[in-house]
Amino acid sequence: MAGLPGLLDYRQSMAHDALAGKAKPSTREDIVVLEQVRKAFGGVEVLRGIDLVCKHGQTTCIVGGSGAGKTTLLRLVVALEKPTSGRILVDGEDTVPMGERELNRVRQKFGMVYQYAALLDSINVLENVSFPLVEHTKLSRAEIRQRIVEKLQILELDETVLMKFPAELSGGMRKRVGLARALMLEPQILVYDEPTSGLDPLTSRAVDDLIDDTRKRFGVTSLVITHDIASCFKLADQALLLTKGQIAARGTPDELAHGDNADAREFIRQSGVNVDAILASRTAR
């Protein structure tokens, strides 16, 4: 395919395509589709011909080192920026030619869980989580509070956290509060930006469980941007390795770990993570 050197033709085996970094043709099950997406800043191309397909109800993890283009890719997917070229379809709609009013409608299909939760330190949990409902609904204060309490309870937090400030919460609690806020408008797609960044290993794995439980409980599609290979291998239905603005490898975690893609094998080796143990624990569940 033009723009993705070394990729195999679509007519070749799907398994080879996956490990070589090629997306499969889209279907009705696909909720997010990127086709030959490129993005340049000041003449410097940051993303170079990205093909990506996220399926309804599945978890796609995008891993890569610093400067690989992960954050830029995230911003394009959620329509905060537009690509230099290519198509981006969200639930069948091409967002690239849309104006701001249409984009705002599409953005409500996404819930964002930011790195470090991105809570405002100067206001309490109730005020932090209520933002989407205040902005986009006409619910009363009582109705907003009730919705927030319901979501927090599902995420194993009780009403006592409502009046707390972010500084009074543990790292894991902050993640749950951030997730509650992302769920307020009942989005179809949850996007996680480095969800385990800054957390200790035990809390990181608890956050992984939270992401997976949320996908199952709410029926959402999950897109996880991360440098954490352990998190990726625990969560992903589809894993993609982004290197220098291109998808170097894609497939199931098992395909990346045991396939013949040298980029994937080297990235896993450098991570120092025992991915076979993680894959075995997934199989045992």
Strand order in the sheet with 44-55: 44-55, 30-41, 85-90, 93-94
**Token pair recorded at residue 45:** 């191309």
Q: Would you say residue 34 has pLDDT above 90?
A: yes
- Percent of residues, the chain, with pLDDT higher than 70: 89
DSSP labels, 109-156:
TEEEE-GGGG--TTS-HHHHHHHHHHHH----HHHHHHHHHHHHHHTT
* Residue 255 near residue 18 (C-beta atoms within 8 A): yes
pLDDT tens sequence across 83-101: 999 999 999 999 999 999 9
pLDDT tens sequence across 187-210: 999 999 988 888 888 888 888 998
pLDDT band at 46 (very low <50, low <70, confident <90, very high): very high
pLDDT tens sequence across 262-276: 999 999 999 999 998
Q: Would you say residue 175 has pLDDT above 90?
A: no
Q: Would you say residue 15 has pLDDT above 50?
A: no
Task: Give the type of residue at 40.
Answer: A
Q: So what's the pLDDT on residue 28? A: 61
**In a 10 Å sphere around its CB, with 0-12 CB exposed, 13-18 middle and 19+ buried, how is residue 56 labelled?**
middle
Tell me the C-alpha distance between 234 and 230, whole Å: 6
Mean pLDDT of 105-118: 85
pLDDT band at 11 (very low <50, low <70, confident <90, very high): very low
pLDDT tens sequence across 221-250: 999 999 899 999 999 999 999 999 999 999
3-state secondary structure of 87: strand
**Token pair recorded at residue 21:** 């970094």
Q: So what's the pLDDT on residue 13? A: 35
Place of tokens 């992401």: 211
Q: So what's the pLDDT on residue 174? A: 87
pLDDT band at 48 (very low <50, low <70, confident <90, very high): very high
pLDDT tens sequence across 64-78: 988 899 999 999 999
pLDDT band at 117 (very low <50, low <70, confident <90, very high): low
pLDDT tens sequence across 128-154: 999 889 988 889 999 999 999 998 988
Q: Would you say residue 159 has pLDDT above 70?
A: yes
More confident residue, 24 or 102: 102
Sort residue 73 into left (φ over 0), alpha (ψ -120 to 50) or beta.
alpha
Nearest to 148 by CA among 125, 123, 172: 125
pLDDT tens sequence across 121-132: 899 999 999 988
Backbone angles phi, psi at 62, to 5 degrees: -110, 115
pLDDT band at 284 (very low <50, low <70, confident <90, very high): low
Q: Where are the beta strands (DSSP E) in 180-245?
A: 189-193, 221-226, 238-243
Mean pLDDT of the chain: 86
Q: So what's the pLDDT on residue 20? A: 46
For residue 94, what are the β-bridge partners?
A: 89
Q: So what's the pLDDT on residue 154? A: 87
Tell me the C-alpha distance between 120 and 124, whole Å: 8
**In a 10 Å sphere around its CB, with 0-12 CB exposed, 13-18 middle and 19+ buried, how is residue 186 labelled?**
middle
Tell me the C-alpha distance between 268 and 256, whole Å: 9
3-state secondary structure of 162: coil
